[in-house]
Each structure stands twice: as structure tokens, then as C-alpha cells.
Structure 1
Amino acid sequence: MACVGVFVAYLPVTTVSVSLPAIQRALDASTAQLSWVSDAFVLPMAALILTAGVFGDAHGRKKVYQAGLALSGLGALVALCAQNIELVWAGQALAGVGSAALLPTTLALISHAVPDPRERGRFIGLWATALTAALALGPLIAGVVLDHFGWRWIYLLPVPASLLAAVCAARLLTDSRAPGSRRLDWPGQTTAALAITALVYGIIEGGATSFTEPKVMVALSTAAVAAVAFVLVERSSADPMLDLSLFRSPAFTATTLIAMISFLGLIGFFFALSLYFGMVQHLSTLDAAWRLLTVTVVPLALGAPVGRLVHRVSSRLLIPGGLLVTSVALLSLTGIDAHTSFGSLAWRLALLGLGLAFVITPMTATAVSSVPYHQAGMAAAGNNAFRQVGGALGPAILGALLSAKAVDALPGHLTDAGLTGATVRQVADVADHDGIGAVAGMNLGADTPRVLTALSDAFLDGLQLCLTVAAVLTLLAAVVGTLLLRRPDHPTPTKPAEHSPKTSETPSPVG
């Protein structure tokens, strides 16, 4: 049930990512609006995951698990019926809240069933494999659907999947709670959600317009103030949502930073690459899906074996090594162009997947084992929360970089293509006001092929910048891992106090 839950939680990530060009064409959406399609899902997931873990500890994890399935299905249903981009955002947001509930409780199910932390590493590997399977199958599902139906039908599968999983959960799962009494930290929740939302909003809108716009400056200032308030609130709280003393552990600090940076690059990469396949190579969604599958099939195949390696090979070798391979893969992708063949692209994408395989599973296991047992739940919840913050920032930051660079480079490429000043100004104005996606829909008669060629070249300039930034951030994360993952994992008992199988009060790695 843990694997089913995380599969449902992550299925919308790549299913929607590869469908963005189709959604853009159907709803006439700008690049900034497309960024919000992804972030409307990831933002509530990042903002509410800690609260969901605490709520499960206090009121029962089975209830939160079932609520997560219900919200995931409801969100998919809303997006399935959407007639405009705003309703798509609403559906994505509901599904994101559902995923926020599912992620901590799926790990709680594993902790409840497998109290031995060494044995648990193997099951966390299976959990990570299910997560990767959702990322891998999402593009294929979207590709098959879009080849035969409209874009809305990509949201059909999560509806019956959530319903069926909820029925199975009602019969198969017993409920559990954390020991003691935990309360929801509303001040911490409010300030965290405000900081995350304001930051992502400011980055998206700043990339679409200008970072000197008043609304953007207000958003970024609000994010900074809310972040400071969150730290102050958590330091003074008797029952904090995230105990800041966790960051005294170098290993926990390292895995938290690595989780945020790696998912920033991964989700942002899927966002940018799906647009590359649609706007530059003009591939169908299914053809794009087969290419994206190359990234995810490697960690899917290696998830369980890496899970077995977690307690045999030092995390300071596994994680920085995987990040170094990921960085090399991202740099190799800067050499692609409009005519890059699948064969030439495949080895680069497979190399990226190989690097991620040695990062995803050890991150959670290391975060849990780097702190005392009674804090293991909060440690894993914090790691997951920062991972989702990175996932929210990925499309925002990389989308803003891509759009800004492409818009800036477009006039030069139009001139190089031999277009006149009037046409260059017309196309540049459309790109400035409506984004580069709007340029692809312009009809300029005989000049249209040259405009599209210039647009592809400008997009590639933006993509290369995104990949370079992602590679540098990943390399920085590898350095952080090398420096901070030096101490041995915090010794944890193999088993908590004896408990009844049906009424276990075992602390879980979810908060």
C-alpha cells in the first residue's frame, strides 16, 4: 500500500510535464501560466507535507492516507473537467494537497511494518522504485492518451486508481499513531506556506515580466520576512513542526540541501525538456515520452539494488558520486540541438538517470539514520518537504531563466535568419508580452519557417543556460555532500519498545 500510495502521489508530475505543449496550445497559455500548472501541484505538496505528517501522528495515519487518495482523485477529476487554465491550476492544487498527505503516510506504513532501520532501507528502496515508476510511466500514459484523445484525459487514470487504492486501504491497513501527544503547529505552518508560495510566485512572475516590478518585489520581500518568522516561531514553539536542532546533524543538513537541489534540477529539467521536444523537435507527446523514459527507467531498475547498498556503502560515496554523474550528464546535454537524434540523446539521458539512482534512495535513509530515533519521523518529513520545495522552485527558476534568455536572444536569431526590421519587432513584441510559446502560433506567411527556425535557436540558448545552471547547482550539492557526510550515521536502535501489532505507537520517519 505504501508503494501504491507514492505511485498515485507522483503520477501527475511527468504525466502533466510532457503534456504542457498540448495544454499550452489548447488553452493559449503563456510560459508563466504553464509554470503554474506544475507549481500549482508541487507548492501545496511542499507547504503541507510536514503538517500532514503531524496530523497523521496525532489523529491516525490510515485516515490521512485515505484522505490523500480522495484529494488526489478529486483534483484529477477537477482538471479532467477544466475548460480554462485556472481550473487546471485548481485541480492540480487539490491533487498536490493529496500528495502532501500521501508522502509522509506511505513512509509511515513502512516504519510501522519494519521497525529495524537496517531492514527498512530495503523497503525504502522499493518505495523509491514505486516513486520512480510513476515518473517513468507518466509520459507513456500521456503519450498514448494524447495520440488518441484530448489533453484532459491524461487526468482520467488517477480517479479510478485513487478509488481502488482507498478501497484496498480500508480492508488491508490498520491505523497507528505516534507516541505522546503532538499538536498542529499553525504558526509554523502558516509562515512556511507563505514563504514558499511568495518565493515561487515572485520567481515565476519576475521571469515573465521583470524582477523590478512592484508585485514581484513585494512577493520576494514577503517570502524573506515569512522565512525569518518561521525560524523564530519554530525556535520558540513547544511542539515545532520542524525542530531546527535537526540541522545540528551535518548529515541531515547535507541530505536536506541535496534533496532540494536535486529535485529543483529534476522537475525543472522535465519541464524544460518537454518544451524542447514540443517546440524545437516538434515531436508528438508519445515520441517525447519514449525519450523521457530513458531518464527514469535506470533509477527504476536500480531502486531496489541501491536500497540494499544503503547500509553497506557509505552515503558520502553513494550520494556525492551520484550527484557528480548527474552534473556530468546535464553538461553533456548542453550540446544538443534541433536535429539531435534519439541515439545521441539517449546515452545522455541514461547517464542522468544513473546519477539520480544513487541519490534518490540514500537521501531519505540517510536523513532518518542521521538523527536520534525519536526524531527520525520529523527528519524524514523535513527531508521530503525540502525535496518538494526544490520541485516547486525547479519549473519556476529554470522556466524563468529559459524564457528570459530565449526572449533576449530571439531578435538576434531573427536578424540572422534574414528577416526585416518590421517583422523582427513584431515577433519580439509578441515574445515580450505573451512569451515564446505565443511566437510558435504566429502566422507570418512566407516568413513563418524562418521565424520558427529562429525561435528554435533562441529556445536552445535558453535551454543551454538552464542545463548549465542545473549542472552547477548539482555539482555544488556534491561538494556539500562530500564535506558534510563525513560522520558515521547516528546510532539508532534496531527496534523501539515492544508494541502491539494493531495499536503500534512506533515513531515513523515522517513527522
Structure 2
Amino acid sequence: MSSPASSPSAPPDTGTRHITATILLACLGVFVSYLPVVGVSVALPVMQQALDASTEGLQWITDAFILPTAALLLTCGMVGDLYGRKKTYLAGLALFCLGCLVCLTAGSVVQVCVGQALTGIGTAALLPSTLALIGHVIPDPRKRARAIALWTAALGLGLSLGPVVNGVIVAHTSWRWIFLPSLVLAVLTAVLGAVVLTDSRAERERHLDIPGQLLAVVAITGLVYGVIEGGSSGWSSAQVVIAFVAAALGAAGFVVVELRSACPMLDMRLFKSSAFSGAALVMAVTLFAQVGLVFALSEYFGLVHHASTLDIGIRLIAINGFTVVLGPLVGRLMNRATPGLLLVTGLVIGGIGALLMNAFQAGTSTGEAALVIGVLGIGIALAMAPITTIAMDAVPHRLGGTAAAANSALRQIGSALGPAVFGVILTHRTLATLPGHLASSGLSPADQGQVSGLVSNVGIQAGAFLHLKTPASTGQAQAAYGASFTDALHTCALVGGIGMLVAAVIAVALIGIRPARSPQTAPEATAHPASAAS
């Protein structure tokens, strides 16, 4: 059925060169898959003008990538366990390349969403396979923690460089070319992976869980669709109510099916582990806040500060840049201190950084904004690697692929809800506060009505391009719009900051500030309820 290298019982190749090459290719895979994530977000103002997209359309451009990633992660983790992690890794890169090609030729929001969806499916295959490849060649938990820290740093590097690279591209050519670097890197990584990687599969027989996959898609898509459409069509509209009902029924059905399945896509017994459950929940909340704030800040800098795509990328680089800079240090600290302590510290610092954004005003300088964003970035850097390590170490080694897929699935569900929820907040708060700011701006009632009508009917992005009869009235209108949008950003900051602080409380309650595990403790030997999941 497979070659010896990919048989379930084949021991990992523990040669130093092979381990190093596997870690490098795992890092390259996650770097490539995350390079366009924030990069696309910072290009949204330019894409909005080029494609005449609404706020809802911009949300779908972001979520078109994240939704299939979240919905298919668990299945891709199972496919990797069943047919081979290397094969899944290479298939993910191939789909990612196809998605980039579709976006490179896009002339509409719909085509961009299709391309984003294809890259999202590719990412769904890459995330669990890269972590599983690392877990296969590095069974020792201490060494694996350092490798996961490098993996997290590579993810952060993709998130950090994407905005800057895309900013340079948009400054000199069409926005479509922002997908070219990802395409080239994905092709090169696939060639290296095909030559260097050794395949591996799960140690136990697994089968595809089709009912579970279908129900997961219904639950995740229904939830995100309901949030996005609720912001534009109204929360009581028929399609929104149907979406939320479908999401609830899909989620309930998923749990029932997974509990009864002989080979579940997500073994619900894993959640008997308080550490695994805590890490999964904290991961979802943290990514919700992180990606949601990136979406909101990208819009704020682009629409209120009128910053270029490159300027937006530079201003946001600290959110993920510190993950790269501090990654090696965090990896060493996890072996000397307590992963739970690092996690809680990072969440508290990140929450404070998000709350400090309430001091932002329409005229806040780049330096002031960078300091606050830097605090958020340091918090995220301290939290991300411990979350992943805690989740991976909370289950027996043989379930590493399942844990990796579940961990990544919660990451992407949080990432999908971030832009959806924060986009709704931006729209509603801007429209709610705009009349008051216009009334105090000195504009005539006729001009106030013109501005309110334009922003309400066309979309909140229209407020950045207001042109009234005189330069003075245009300036007054834009100042009122900037103040309204900043009020909306403050609400986003409150939601994100409080969310991260709540996640810190959850981490203390479910994970705890535990002493570091002994290096001699093998993962399989750890007493854990999740071990029953096999």
C-alpha cells in the first residue's frame, strides 16, 4: 500500500541532517502559507478602489481564505495521517500555487475570493502536515518545543514580511502582483520538499470521516456567514437567522457524530484534557483578537491616515514581527520556565496593548501608534509558541497529528471570526457616531445629510474620499469621518483587549502555571485522559 518510508510502523529518520531539513521545510511551508494573510489585509484599501468593493466584500476577501482553512484543517490532518504527511504537504503547496494564479488574473471580488479559497484549502493541508512532520522526527518534548518555536517564528515572519513586500509591490505596480512572491516561493518549496522529505503516516489505522467533515463545514460557514451578513442585512433577516440555526445544528451534530464515530476526525475525548481544552480555547480567542485588530488597524491607517499600502505594512509589522525576533528566546524560555506562565504573561501584555489603542485619535502620530502596536506584538510573541507547545504536549505522541490539526482549526476559526466581527463593529459604530460628529463639525445641514447619505449607502470606505463644494467643508467632513471611524476602532480595541485578558484567565484556570516537564518524560508516558482517545 505504501513504501517503507511511509508505513505506519516506520521509525523516524533521526539523522541530524534529515531532522534539520524537515524543520526547515516545515518552517518554509508555514511561512509561504501565511505570507499573503496580513499582506492582503493591508492592500484592502487599494483593492477596494480598484474593484469597487464594499465593506462586506472586503470581509469576504479575507474570510474566503480563512474559512476553508478552518473548515478543512481537521480533514487534512486525517488525510495526512492516512495517506502520508509528505503527500499532504505537497498537495497543499500545489493548491496554494493554483490559488495564487487565480488571484494574479483577478478582475473582480468574486475571482479574488475564489483564489483566496484555493490558497486557504492549500493552507489547511500545510498547517497540520508541517507540525506532524516535526513531531514525527522529534519525539523528545524539549527538542520539539524548540522546533515549534521556530515554526511559530516562521509563521510570524510570513505575517510580518507580507505587508512590507506587498506595500512595495503596490507602490510600483498593480495589486494583483502581490500574489507572485507567494507563488514563486511555494513552487521552490514544493520542489525541495519532493526531493528531501521522508513520508510518514499515523501509527494506527484511520478512515475519512465524511459526516463529520460536512457538519464542520456547515457549522463554521454558517457562523461566519451569519456574522458578516448580519452586519449588512440585519440580525433578524431570514438568511442570517437560517445561517445561525444551521451553524448551531451543525455544531451539535458534529459533536454527536464525532462521539459515536469509530474513527472520528476530531476525537472529542481529547478535550478531557484541561490543558488541551484551555490551549484550544485560548488559541481561538487570541487569533480572533489578533487578526481582527489587524483588519481594523489596516482600515484605520488606510482610510483615516490615508497611508499607502507600504506605510500600513510598516506600521503593523510589530504585531507579528516580535514573534520572529523573540521566537528563539521564547523557545529557550519554555525549557527553563513554565509554558503556562509565558502564555499568561503574553496574554496580559497583549491585552494591555490592545486596550491602549483607545488612546488613538484621528491625528495620532506614527511613532505613538508604533509604541502601542509594539506592546501588542510583544504579548502575542510571548503567547503563540507556548499555546502550540502546550496543545501538542497535552496528548500522547501518537495523536500529534490530530492535536496539530485541532490546534490549527481553532486558530483559523478565531481568525475567520476576527475580520467578520470587527468589520461589523467598524460599520455600525462609524455609522452610529457619524451624525454627532457631523453636527459639531460646523457643516451645514445639507452637507451633513449629503455625507451621512453617502457613507450609509455606499459604505464606510466612501468617507475617506469625500469631496464637497469647498475645500473647507471637505476638510470638516473628513475630520468628522475620521473621528467617527476612530470611535469604532476604540470599540474594536476594547473587544480585542478584553478578549485577550479573558483568555489569560482561562489559561490560568484550565492550563495553570505548571512547572516545566522533565526532559526524560516521554509524551506517551504522560498520564492523561486524552490517551484514551486512541
TM-score scaled by length of structure 2: 0.90
Q: SS of 1:311's equivalent? A: helix
Q: How far apart in 2 are the matches of 1:376 and 1:87? A: 36
Note the C-alpha offset of 1:411. Answer: 1.4
Q: How far apart in 2 are the matches of 1:87 and 1:69? A: 20
Q: How far apart in 2 are the matches of 1:132 and 1:57? A: 26
Q: SS of 2:200's equivalent? A: coil
Give CA-to-partner distance per residue, 1:310-364, whole Å, 9 cap, x none: 2322233111111000011011111011221122122211111111111100111
Q: In the alignment, is the contact (CA less than 8 A) between 2:68 and 2:121 conserved in 1?
A: yes
Q: In the alignment, is the contact (CA less than 8 A) between 2:81 and 2:401 conserved in 1?
A: no
Match of 1:494 in 2: 522
Q: In the alignment, is the contact (CA less than 8 A) between 2:396 and 2:524 conserved in 1?
A: no
Q: How far apart in 2 are the matches of 1:485 and 1:213? A: 40
Give CA-to-partner distance per residue, 1:451-483, whole Å, 9 cap, x none: 221111110011000000111111110000111
Match of 2:95 in 1: 71
Give CA-to-partner distance per residue, 1:111-137, whole Å, 9 cap, x none: 122121221111111111100000110
Match of 2:38 in 1: 14
Q: 1:496 to 1:366 in 2, by over 3 A?
A: closer
For the aligned residue pairs, the C-alpha RMSD in angstroms reads: 1.7
Q: How far apart in 1 are the matches of 2:444 and 2:242? A: 40
Q: Does 1:276 align with 2:300?
A: yes
Match of 2:528 in 1: none
Q: How far apart in 2 are the matches of 1:442 and 1:217? A: 35
Q: In the alignment, is the contact (CA less than 8 A) between 1:407 and 1:435 conserved in 2?
A: no
Q: How far apart in 1 are the matches of 2:241 and 2:483? A: 31
Q: How far apart in 1 are the matches of 2:458 and 2:118? A: 27
AA in 1 matched with 2:522: T
The one of 8, 23, 37 aligned to 2:61: 37
Q: 1:27 to 1:119 in 2, by over 3 A?
A: same
Match of 2:487 in 1: 461
Note the C-alpha offset of 1:490. Answer: 8.5
Q: In the alignment, is the contact (CA less than 8 A) between 2:351 and 2:497 conserved in 1?
A: yes
Q: Does 1:432 align with 2:460?
A: no
Give CA-to-partner distance per residue, 1:369-392, whole Å, 9 cap, x none: 122333333222211110110000
TM-score scaled by length of structure 1: 0.94
**Percent sequence identity over aligned pairs:** 46
Moved more, 259-268 or 407-416: 407-416
Q: How far apart in 2 are the matches of 1:429 and 1:349? A: 34
1:60-209 matched pairs, under 5 angstroms: 60-209=84-233
Match of 1:369 in 2: 393
Q: SS of 1:310's equivalent? A: helix
Q: SS of 1:390's equivalent? A: helix
Q: In the alignment, is the contact (CA less than 8 A) between 2:335 and 2:516 conserved in 1?
A: no
Match of 1:473 in 2: 499
Match of 1:391 in 2: 415
Q: How far apart in 2 are the matches of 1:461 and 1:381? A: 38
1:233-382 matched pairs, under 5 angstroms: 233-382=257-406
Q: How far apart in 2 are the matches of 1:457 and 1:495? A: 53
Report how many residues are paired. Answer: 498
Q: How far apart in 1 are the matches of 2:467 and 2:177? A: 29
Moved more, 21-30 or 370-379: 370-379
Q: In the alignment, is the contact (CA less than 8 A) between 1:116 and 1:494 conserved in 2?
A: yes
Note the C-alpha offset of 1:496. Answer: 7.2
Q: In the alignment, is the contact (CA less than 8 A) between 2:340 and 2:386 conserved in 1?
A: no
Runs of 4+ in 1 over 4 A off after TM superposition: 487-493
Note the C-alpha offset of 1:157. Answer: 0.9
Match of 2:476 in 1: 450
Moved more, 279-288 or 255-264: 279-288
AA in 1 matched with 2:148: I
Q: In the alignment, is the contact (CA less than 8 A) between 1:56 and 1:105 conserved in 2?
A: yes
| Structure 1 residue runs without a partner (length 5+) | 498-510
